[in-house]
């Protein structure tokens, strides 16, 4: 009887084992959930392809910075339009509300989550976003008072948020340093042996993986004074006072944002989506970022070969003589294209990929660092050149590529191949951005 029972258990084990292992064949591991990538909201699919990157017209400035070469770009998603004031305001409000919840959590437990579902302590605790936040609640008023301008700084006694305190703390993994062979984990010595530079330029030894995790913080509020500071002897005060916050400008591209702020926005946007996916049991791999200048140019061309402008033609007017983008068409005549300053997004027709305003309206930040000779040494597969400039670096090292031209630029800057730069710590009234997201698969 004992032998029969033993045999039965063995057979049961074999049958169960065969059911899970595919009869001893290599079938991979079972995943808890299947994955399907829906079209991201507000984004368009840019298919993979090869194109002739670089100038297709005269190099009028004789800059010699856009040598022509053939490169290949993997598929990706790209924002249909530039990030608008209203979209960027979601970022600002999130930072504002997170600061408020952190302050309230010091006195009101309902604003923090200090234990997981099993009762284990969470240190530091998470913010509880399910608790309703009311800024006009008298019970919270004293705690939140420090978020507002002090009384001596108030204009006509208006109680307004102190935008200087809207600081976003964020992290990223420096994969470039982590990928160096000298920085890899040594399995023979069972430790790391290299050194890295942190975000402040300090040289540190690698004790564990945390050495590759960079941390930084940035004030997220746009510089609204750029409308005045960018122009001398010019009256632009109404744009400074209303452009970012007034509902009439909700669908206009955000400006006054530095490269660092745009990068932080992309990281926040990634976490916003990934936290939602995590709550639904989905893989957390959706990362938004700024496009490389090669990706930007490829997208701007819309799949056309050697076209000078995103719309495919050689001129900035159509057959009826109407301008095809928002730029400075004639000397002193900013409004001949329909807009004196920036215009509402998608005011002109899209390119063949369906992307709006790839020329004109506002120039756009890319992730790429600017170097005059970058085209000569970048790879021909998804070319890119990055340099994380430190605060103490020479200003030349802080140049980041901007593309597309703006409402104040002449037609040359609207060309697909024209590349120029702004400094990563500068904000301008004519520079905005849009995000991309990697496509999963091929």
Residues 204 and 333 in one domain: no
Q: Three-class SS of residue 279?
A: helix
- Cα–Cα distance measured from residue 76 to residue 44, given in angstroms and rounded to the nearest whole number: 9
Mean pLDDT of 12-25: 56
Give 19's pLDDT tier (boundaries 50, 70, 90).
Answer: very low
Higher pLDDT, 61 or 148: 148
- Cα–Cα distance measured from residue 431 to residue 422, given in angstroms and rounded to the nearest whole number: 9
What domain range is 190 assigned to? 172-215
Counted domains in the chain: 2
For 266, 305, 347, the CA distances from 430, given in Å and listed in that order, are 20, 28, 17
Asked if residue 167 belongs to a domain, the reply is no
Q: Find, among 376, 433, 377, 378, the residue nearest to 402 by Cα.
A: 433
> What share of the chain in percent tops pLDDT 90?
64
Please give the sequence-ordered ranges of beta strands (E in DSSP) within 221-362, or none if there are none.
288-289
Residues 312 and 201 in one domain: no
Asked if residue 222 belongs to a domain, the reply is no
Asked if residue 178 belongs to a domain, the reply is yes
Asked if residue 235 belongs to a domain, the reply is no
Which residue, of 215, 243, 271, is where some domain finishes? 215
Most confidently modeled range among 27-36, 50-59, 263-272: 263-272
Residues 437 and 290 in one domain: yes
pLDDT digit string, tens, across residues 171-184: 999 999 999 999 99
> What share of the chain in percent tops pLDDT 70?
93
Residues 323 and 436 in one domain: yes
Asked if residue 336 belongs to a domain, the reply is yes
Where helices occur in 220-364 by DSSP H, the ranges are 226-229, 237-242, 259-279, 293-301
Mean pLDDT of 118-125: 85
The domain spanning residue 378 has which CATH number? 3.90.1580.10
Asked if residue 60 belongs to a domain, the reply is yes
pLDDT digit string, tens, across residues 137-150: 888 988 999 999 99
Q: Say if residue 253's pLDDT is above 90.
A: yes
Residue 213 pairs with which residues in a beta bridge? 173
Residues 290 and 438 in one domain: yes
The predicted pLDDT at position 310 comes to: 96
Higher pLDDT, 345 or 203: 345
Q: Among 104-118, 245-259, 343-357, name the one with the lowest average pLDDT.
A: 104-118
The model's pTM is 0.91
For 184, 231, 309, the CA distances from 328, given in Å and listed in that order, are 51, 15, 15
Residues 320 and 431 in one domain: yes
Asked if residue 272 belongs to a domain, the reply is no
Residue 173 pairs with which residues in a beta bridge? 213
Where helices occur in 348-439 by DSSP H, the ranges are 374-377
Asked if residue 90 belongs to a domain, the reply is no
Q: What is the DSSP string of 8-44?
A: HHHHHHHHHHHHHHTTTS---PPPSS----PPPTTEE
């Amino acid at each position: 009887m004992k032998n029969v029972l033993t045999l039965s258990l063995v057979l049961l084990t074999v049958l169960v084992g065969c059911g899970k292992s595919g009869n001893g064949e290599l079938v991979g591991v079972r995943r808890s959930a299947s994955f399907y990538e829906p079209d991201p909201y507000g984004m368009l699919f840019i298919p993979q392809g090869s194109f002739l990157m670089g100038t297709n017209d005269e190099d009028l400035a004789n800059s010699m910075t856009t040598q022509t070469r053939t490169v290949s770009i993997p598929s990706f998603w790209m924002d249909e339009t530039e990030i608008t004031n209203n979209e960027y305001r979601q970022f600002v409000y999130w930072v504002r509300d997170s600061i408020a919840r952190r302050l309230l959590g010091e006195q009101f437990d309902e604003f923090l989550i200090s234990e997981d579902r099993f009762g284990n302590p969470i240190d530091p605790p998470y913010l509880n976003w399910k608790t309703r936040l009311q800024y006009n609640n008298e019970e919270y008023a004293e705690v939140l008072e420090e978020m507002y301008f002090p009384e001596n700084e108030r204009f006509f006694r208006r109680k307004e948020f102190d935008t200087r305190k809207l600081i976003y703390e964020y992290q990223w993994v420096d994969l470039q340093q982590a990928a160096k062979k000298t920085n890899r984990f040594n399995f023979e010595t069972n430790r790391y042996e290299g050194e890295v530079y942190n975000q402040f330029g300090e040289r540190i030894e690698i004790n564990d993986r945390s050495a590759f995790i960079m941390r930084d913080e940035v004030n997220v509020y746009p510089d609204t004074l750029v409308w005045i500071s960018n122009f001398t002897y010019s009256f632009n005060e109404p744009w400074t006072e209303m452009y970012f916050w007034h509902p009439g400008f909700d669908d206009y591209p955000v400006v006054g944002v530095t490269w660092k702020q745009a990068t932080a926005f992309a990281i926040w946007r990634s976490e916003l989506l990934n936290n939602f996916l995590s709550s639904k049991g989905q893989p957390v791999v959706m990362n938004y970022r700024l496009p490389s200048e090669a990706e930007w140019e490829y997208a701007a061309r819309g799949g056309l070969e050697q076209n000078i402008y995103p719309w495919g033609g050689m001129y900035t007017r159509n057959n009826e003589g109407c301008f095809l983008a928002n730029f400075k068409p004639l000397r002193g005549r900013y409004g001949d294209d329909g807009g004196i300053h920036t215009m509402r997004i998608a005011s002109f027709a899209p390119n063949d990929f369906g992307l709006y305003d790839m020329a004109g309206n506002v120039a756009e930040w890319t992730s790429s660092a600017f170097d005059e000779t970058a085209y000569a040494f970048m790879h021909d597969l998804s070319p890119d050149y990055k340099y994380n400039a430190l605060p103490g670096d020479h200003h030349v090292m802080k140049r980041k590529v901007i593309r597309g031209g703006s409402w104040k630029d002449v037609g040359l800057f609207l060309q697909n191949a024209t590349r120029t730069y702004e400094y990563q710590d500068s904000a301008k009234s004519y520079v905005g951005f849009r995000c991309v997201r990697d496509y999963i698969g091929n």
